[in-house]
């Protein structure tokens, strides 16, 4: 099977699917999206799908704010006959140190300039928002009622169905084994089913992007980092917002059918692919979440699993072209917050690839920032 395409997209996660849809919506033709397993088999289908605009930099606040506006209309925009289950129950971000209090106040300043409806709340007010919250040691929190979470499978499905209707070809169970480039230009990809020639290749392969870029001698400063997560049995609704503590590295939400979904990060994870779940995670997760939200101690865990964050040195995504390899584009390195900005990322990348002016600047996320030493520092990430 040898083929030709105008644009090849590698990766059937939410980012690749959003980019494919946005390119096709703008009239690009002959697009092929390649996924080595099933759609959402990477980080997207393993994630918490939390969506928040409470960031500390203007750029990320805007990316997330615009994305939330798009999530609000996404079913209509994509003509989706199901629900992406976007629930705007808010995000409660907890502060346990004076440094965090100071940072959160700075973040609020940035957010308010952009019209984000977030606010400072005292421990007593936090308890009004989440009555079962243990406020021991809590100095305060910020809350934004427009934040929330989605169903990541249905969100991706909505993009895929819309992209297919616009003519995008989706090839699942097809692995890109090598990128192909000649004379400083990308020429296509080699897959386990044959070669696809294309003058444009967009790499959205999550942490695997590093290995793919290496096949044409590009060194991506990107590594996988395991993150574990679990789901409990469904119970009656008691918690509207996502509760998040950077101090404990923890997030916990109750999804629409009543299950709690929660995860914690481990700063000592090795920089390698690991899809195993551990009892240490279960133990630490249980200890931390039952301290913060004591009634959850009575819940039974149904399943735990692991996925990979695609981490960059500044924990921010790499978006745009790669100097020296014309036609090769990157949208990878989302470092644990790619789902929430997927609508806007798809739109911006489509504009960029088609040579249009982007609706928001993306140059601060370019690949060469690492070599220049101009890292993009976002203070509000787990
Ligand atoms: C436990 C966990 C919790 C998270 N929680 C949140 C959250 O609450 N909010 C949030 O915004 N983000 C969250 N994230 C991060 C989020 O999941 C990612 O940033 C986002 O899904 C990235 O999407 P993607 O399409 O770039 O990557 P992926 O979903 O990983 O997609 C990449 C795809 O490329 C495919 N691929 C790889 N190599 C090849 C190849 N050689 N050929 C063909 N296909 C290939 C993979 O199979 C994969 O399907 C979380 C992540 C994890 C792991």
- Closest ligand 1 atom to 45 CA: 29
Please indicate, yes or no, if residue 382 is contained in any of the structural domains.
Answer: no
Shared domain for 241 and 300, answered yes or no, is: yes
Please indicate, yes or no, if residue 320 is contained in any of the structural domains.
Answer: yes
Which of 11, 224, 312, 382 best tests ligand 1's pocket when mutated (most atoms within 8 Å of CB)?
Answer: 11
Comparing CA positions, the residue from 216, 210, 190, 206 lying closest to residue 8 is: 190
- Closest ligand 1 atom to 228 CA: 1
Please indicate, yes or no, if residue 69 is contained in any of the structural domains.
Answer: no
- As given in the structure block, the two tokens for residue 314 are 């500044």
Name the stretches of the chain with pLDDT < 70.
Answer: 382
Element (H, E) at 64: helix 58-78
Q: How far is CA 363 from CA 113, 127, 199, 202, in A?
A: 22, 41, 22, 17
Shared domain for 241 and 277, answered yes or no, is: yes
Please indicate, yes or no, if residue 350 is contained in any of the structural domains.
Answer: yes
Q: How far apart are CA 49 and CA 244, in angstroms?
A: 13
Residue 285: its pLDDT value, please?
97
Q: How far apart are CA 97 and CA 114, in angstroms?
A: 26
Q: How far is CA 273 from CA 13, 42, 54, 254, 328, in A?
A: 17, 12, 29, 28, 25
For residues 133 and 292, the answer to whether their CB atoms sit within 8 Å is yes
Residue 382: its pLDDT value, please?
60
**Cβ of residue 333 lying under 6 Å from some atom of ligand 1:** no
* Interval between CA 349 and ligand 1 midpoint (Å): 17
**Cβ of residue 208 lying under 6 Å from some atom of ligand 1:** yes
Shared domain for 274 and 235, answered yes or no, is: yes
* Interval between CA 308 and ligand 1 midpoint (Å): 7
Shared domain for 218 and 233, answered yes or no, is: no
Query: Which residue lies with its CA nearest to atom 14 of ligand 1?
Result: 336
Please indicate, yes or no, if residue 378 is contained in any of the structural domains.
Answer: no
Which of 225, 338, 381 best tests ligand 1's pocket when mutated (most atoms within 8 Å of CB)?
Answer: 338
Q: Count Cβ atoms within 10 A of the Cβ of residue 109 and give its class: 0-12 exposed, 13-18 middle, 19 or more buried.
A: exposed
Contacts of 231 (CB under 8 A, 6+ apart): 259, 260, 261, 301, 302, 303, 304
Which of 310, 337, 359 terminates a domain? The answer is 310
Shared domain for 108 and 254, answered yes or no, is: yes
* Interval between CA 50 and ligand 1 midpoint (Å): 13
Shared domain for 95 and 116, answered yes or no, is: yes
Reduced to 3 states (helix: H, G, I; strand: E, B; else coil), residue 210 is: helix
Shared domain for 327 and 180, answered yes or no, is: yes
Query: Which residue lies with its CA nearest to atom 3 of ligand 1?
Result: 47
CATH at residue 111 = 3.30.9.10
Q: Count Cβ atoms within 10 A of the Cβ of residue 273 and give its class: 0-12 exposed, 13-18 middle, 19 or more buried.
A: middle
Shared domain for 161 and 210, answered yes or no, is: yes
Shared domain for 281 and 157, answered yes or no, is: no
Please give the residue range of the domain that contains residue 340.
3-46+153-222+314-372
Q: How many CB atoms lie within 10 A of CB 259?
A: 18
Shared domain for 169 and 295, answered yes or no, is: no
CATH at residue 14 = 3.50.50.60
What is the per-residue burial (b if ≥16 Cβ within 10 Å, else e) of 148-170? bbbbbbbbbbbbbbbbeebebeb
Angle in degrees, CA 364, 58, 208, rounded to 5: 45
Q: What is the DSSP string of 264-298?
A: E--TT--SS------HHHHHHHHHHHHHHSGGGGG
Query: Which residue lies with its CA nearest to atom 41 of ligand 1?
Result: 176
* Interval between CA 96 and ligand 1 midpoint (Å): 30
Q: What is the pLDDT of residues 315-341, one digit of tens each?
A: 999 999 999 999 999 999 999 999 999
DSSP state of 364: G
Angle in degrees, CA 144, 346, 46, rounded to 5: 65
- Cα atoms found within 13 Å of the Cα of residue 38, Cβ hemisphere only: 5
Shared domain for 27 and 168, answered yes or no, is: yes
Q: Given the DSSP bridges, would you call strands 169-171 and 31-34 parallel, antiparallel or unpaired?
A: parallel
Which of 271, 295, 310 terminates a domain? The answer is 310
Q: How many CB atoms lie within 10 A of CB 182?
A: 9
Q: What is the pLDDT of residues 142-189, one digit of tens each?
A: 999 999 999 999 999 999 999 999 999 999 999 999 999 999 999 999
Which of 310, 342, 359 terminates a domain? The answer is 310
Domain count, the chain: 2
Query: Which residue lies with its CA nearest to atom 21 of ligand 1?
Result: 44
Shared domain for 258 and 128, answered yes or no, is: yes
Please indicate, yes or no, if residue 76 is contained in any of the structural domains.
Answer: no
Element (H, E) at 140: strand 140-144
Please indicate, yes or no, if residue 62 is contained in any of the structural domains.
Answer: no
Please indicate, yes or no, if residue 53 is contained in any of the structural domains.
Answer: no
* Interval between CA 338 and ligand 1 midpoint (Å): 8
């Amino acid at each position: 099977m040898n083929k030709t395409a105008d644009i090849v997209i590698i990766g059937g996660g939410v980012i690749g699917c959003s980019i494919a849809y946005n390119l096709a919506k703008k009239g690009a033709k002959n697009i092929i999206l390649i996924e080595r397993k099933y759609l959402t088999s990477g980080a997207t289908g393993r994630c918490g799908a939390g969506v928040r605009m409470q960031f500390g930099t203007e750029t990320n606040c805007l990316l997330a704010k615009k994305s939330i506006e798009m999530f609000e209309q996404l079913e209509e925009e994509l003509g989706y006959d199901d629900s992406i289950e976007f629930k705007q129950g808010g995000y409660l971000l907890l502060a346990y140190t004076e440094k965090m209090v100071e940072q959160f106040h700075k973040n609020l300043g940035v957010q308010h300039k952009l019209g984000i409806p977030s606010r400072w709340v005292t421990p007593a007010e936090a308890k009004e928002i989440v009555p079962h919250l243990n406020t021991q040691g809590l100095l305060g929190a910020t809350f934004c009622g427009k934040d929330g979470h989605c169903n990541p499978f249905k969100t991706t499905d909505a993009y895929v169905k819309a992209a297919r209707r616009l003519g995008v070809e989706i090839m699942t169970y097809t692995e890109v084994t090598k990128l192909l480039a000649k004379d400083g230009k990308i020429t296509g990809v080699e897959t386990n089913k044959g070669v696809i020639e294309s003058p444009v290749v967009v790499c959205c392969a999550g942490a695997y992007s590093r290995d793919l870029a290496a096949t044409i001698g590009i060194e991506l400063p990107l590594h996988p980092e395991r993150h574990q997560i679990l789901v409990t049995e469904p119970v009656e609704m008691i918690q509207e917002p996502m509760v998040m503590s950077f101090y404990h590295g923890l997030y916990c939400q109750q999804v629409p059918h009543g299950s709690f979904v929660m995860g914690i990060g481990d700063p000592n994870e090795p920089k390698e692919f690991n899809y195993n779940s551990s009892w240490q995670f279960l133990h630490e997760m249980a200890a931390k979440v039952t301290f913060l939200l004591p009634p959850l101690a009575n819940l039974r865990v149904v399943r735990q699993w692991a996925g990979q964050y695609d981490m960059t040195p500044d924990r921010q995504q790499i978006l745009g072209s790669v100097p020296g390899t014309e036609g090769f584009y990157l949208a990878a390195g989302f470092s644990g917050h790619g789902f929430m900005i997927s609508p806007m990322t798809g739109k911006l990348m489509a504009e960029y690839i088609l040579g249009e002016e982007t609706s928001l600047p993306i140059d601060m996320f370019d690949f060469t920032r690492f070599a220049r030493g101009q890292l993009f520092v976002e203070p509000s990430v787990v």
